[in-house]
């Protein structure tokens, strides 16, 4: 497998795993069967132009888009159990990144942070999702419409488990020193060609997964997401980047708005004090 570190803003990075030469399992697991069944059902509902199935799909896609991009990134990394042979054999994992944005000396620290900072969150939410399942089970008595709260909790439990497994996989790779950082010329060209004003101080930064800058700003946008996916021959990456870009941009705009409101409040309070 390969890992990719893709900066979204000057403070946030998306991690994504590309699996290579994945052999089909001899026996399909219940999780695989359930995932396949749900995917086919969802695809069928998406074709509906109206009705409750169409509404469920619209609300579902809306909810999926709001699941943190960090979680989606960690979910792309397979559980340790899926790579026991490779890990036992000491097979190294290459980590590709744009060196124009992320200094090579920071990569291991970035990975360490990604492998540990969300573990507690996913553990807690996995537990709460499991607790909620039996509580939502009685909704199954409602005719015609499936027990959506129950299935949503099942999905969230699975999602948190996969993200937790992915973070533990990163942690193990670092512990066993099975990570090889590799600057990507392809990514360097894409990030540089889009005229991103990178700070020279980046090379001196040693902070976790943040790219230093006093004010957070976007580094890539939707157009670059498609360009990166095509250049790396990973069409599925376009969706992941698009979601991450949307979430980060929305977060930055919300922070700006909050700061502006605080400034207005301070200015108004000062004016009030002067009048008094």
| Local confidence band at 200 (pLDDT 50, 70, 90 cut-offs) | very low
Q: Is the pLDDT reported for residue 123 higher than 70?
A: yes
- What does the DSSP 8-state code read for residue 138? G
pLDDT digits (tens, 9 = 90+) for 129-178: 999 888 887 765 555 567 778 888 888 999 999 999 999 999 999 999 99
Backbone angle region of 90, left / alpha / beta, with phi > 0 → left and psi within -120 to 50 → alpha: left
Alpha helices (H) along the chain: 30-46, 52-65, 69-75, 84-88, 107-116, 119-136, 148-175, 185-193, 222-231, 236-275
SS3 179: strand
Residue of 108, 105, 94, 96 whose CA lies nearest to 7: 96
CB 190 within 8 A of CB 228: yes
The segment with the largest mean pLDDT, out of 41-50, 135-144, 175-184, is: 175-184
Cβ-contact 4, 94 below 8 angstroms: no
pLDDT digits (tens, 9 = 90+) for 70-113: 999 999 999 999 999 999 999 999 999 999 899 999 999 999 99
- Other beta carbons within 10 angstroms of residue 189's beta carbon come to 14
- The predicted pLDDT at position 145 comes to 62
Q: Tell me the whole-structure pTM to 2 decimals.
A: 0.81
């Amino acid at each position: 497998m390969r890992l990719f570190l893709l900066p979204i803003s000057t403070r946030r990075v998306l991690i994504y795993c590309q699996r290579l030469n994945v052999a089909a399992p001899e026996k399909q697991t219940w999780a695989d069967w359930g995932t396949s069944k749900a995917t086919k059902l969802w695809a069928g509902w998406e074709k509906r132009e109206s009705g409750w199935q169409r509404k469920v799909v619209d609300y579902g896609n809306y909810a999926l888009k709001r699941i943190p991009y960090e979680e989606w990134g960690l979910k792309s990394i397979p559980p340790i159990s899926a790579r026991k042979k490779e890990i036992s054999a000491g097979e190294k994992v290459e980590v590709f990144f744009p060196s124009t944005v992320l200094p090579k000396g920071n990569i291991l620290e970035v990975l360490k942070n990604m492998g540990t900072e969300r573990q507690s969150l996913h553990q807690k939410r996995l537990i709460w999702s499991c607790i909620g399942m039996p509580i939502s089970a009685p909704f199954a008595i409602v005719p015609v419409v499936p027990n959506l709260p129950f299935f949503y909790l099942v999905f969230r439990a699975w999602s948190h488990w996969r993200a937790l497994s992915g973070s533990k996989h990163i942690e193990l790779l670092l512990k066993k020193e099975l990570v090889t950082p590799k600057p990507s010329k392809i990514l360097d060209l894409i990030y540089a060609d889009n005229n991103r004003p990178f700070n020279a101080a980046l090379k001196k930064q040693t902070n976790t997964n943040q790219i230093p800058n006093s004010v957070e700003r976007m580094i890539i946008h939707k157009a670059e997401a498609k360009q990166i996916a095509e250049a790396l021959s990973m069409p599925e990456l376009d969706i992941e980047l698009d979601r991450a870009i949307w979430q980060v941009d929305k977060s930055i705009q919300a922070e700006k708005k909050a700061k502006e409101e605080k400034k207005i409040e301070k200015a108004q309070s000062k004016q009030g004090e002067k009048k008094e």
